[in-house]
Copies of this chain bind each other. A is one copy, B any other.
Amino acid sequence: MAAHIYAALSRTARTGLIEEGTTALLSDLVLAALDLLRLTPREDLISLVPGKQYFAFSREGRVSRPVRRDLFDEQLVQANIARFNDGSFTQLGFDELKRFLYMFAISYCCETDLAGRDDRKTPATFFEYLIGNIFGRQLGVNPRKQVDVLNLDMRATLPTDFIFDLGAAHRRVHLPVKLSTRERVVQVWAHQKVLDGVYGVGRFRGVLTVLTETKLDKRTREVIEICLPEQWRVYQLFIAQLFRVYYLDLPNRYAVLRDVPPHIQVKELAEFFAEKDALISQ
């Protein structure tokens, strides 16, 4: 069932991430995943992350990714699903909005973990669709996934993460979307540096959006967060400047980067809706 909805979502996403049909399929998929997860046993995990508790779903010997206990709120999604489709979910209170967004992201990812295909692409692509849809609806434009490089004697097309282009009156937004970053994160700053070089510094605002940095040790059932804050500071100083980093499950070791030079603005995704104009203003 969920697989059929996902297939329909893949097709519809190609015609436009912010179209009504795409939005409806995203919420259908989350509801289908929640229906399956409701019947799935949960298992407490040993959290080594200060201040956060996690559980996992487990089925037929397989175990899902870790789920934040305080953010998992099925009732909230069931009661407000129509507000995802009409966009009024952004008016939920901050804590509810945080849980609502987290639920939308984590539910189908957990369901794919339990399907047992060892499939890393499907949850990553689903999360891209979801975040692309949310940002696109707020900014009022569908994203693109490539930019042209025209430079004297060469002409190339560079594949990128999402690019939102609202025309000359606004900054463009460069939106990389990742389930987690780990040691691959330097790519994000490198792509921002390419955009700065090709189009000029400040023309694209870099907005990295990430689900979580948790890692589950399946043997010991321990959950850790893998964070490299000192490396992020070096990248922000010496490669390029990201404008925002948004998390659905914000690691504390990244949240405090706001307070030390170069003051990388790492926040909850729920904060985006109140400051979306800052992303595109000149």
Contacts and interface: CB of A to CB of B under 8 A. Distances in A.
Copies of this subunit: 2
Q: Is the interface of A mostly helix, strand, loop or mixed?
A: helix
B152 A238 contact: no
A153 interface: yes
Contact of A190 (B154, B159, B193): B193
Interface residues of A, number: 30
A11 to B, nearest CB: 25
Interface in A217-264: 230-231, 233-235, 237-239, 260-261
15 contacts: A151-B237, A154-B230, A154-B233, A156-B230, A156-B231, A158-B230, A158-B231, A158-B234, A186-B190, A187-B187, A190-B190, A190-B193, A190-B235, A193-B239, A194-B238
Interface of A: 149, 151-154, 156-159, 184, 186-187, 189-191, 193-194, 196-198, 230-231, 233-235, 237-239, 260-261
